[in-house]
Amino acid sequence: MDTRVDGARWSTMSVSAAGSLFDPGTGYAYTLNPVAVAIITAWKADESPDRLRAALLERFEVDTRTLERDLMEFMRRVKWLGLVT
């Protein structure tokens, strides 16, 4: 599954230390769990999908199949929220 996003847009968003995401273009804030923080931090750094997957596999106790399923679900949700087009 393609997990590339528009790095320029994500660079304007901020992730707080407490784990919330703020979109300065809309004023909406989102509460993130640690996995989401890791994904969005990678997006903000414009990291490649391969590096993102490798980082998630290294940091969290998850197998490849579950990771792909969770990434797909995450992408579906951020698209639904309008954060990714």
The residue ranges that bind another protein (CB under 8 A) are 12, 14, 22, 24-27, 29
- Residue labelled with tokens 């951020």: 78
> Which is closer to another protein, CB of 32 or CB of 52?
32
> Which is closer to another protein, CB of 27 or CB of 58?
27
Residues 6+ apart with CB under 8 A from 3: 39, 49, 52, 71, 75
- Residue labelled with tokens 């490649």: 48
Minimum gap (Å) between residue 83 Cβ and another protein? 14
- Residue labelled with tokens 């414009």: 46
Minimum gap (Å) between residue 85 Cβ and another protein? 10
> Which is closer to another protein, CB of 23 or CB of 47?
23
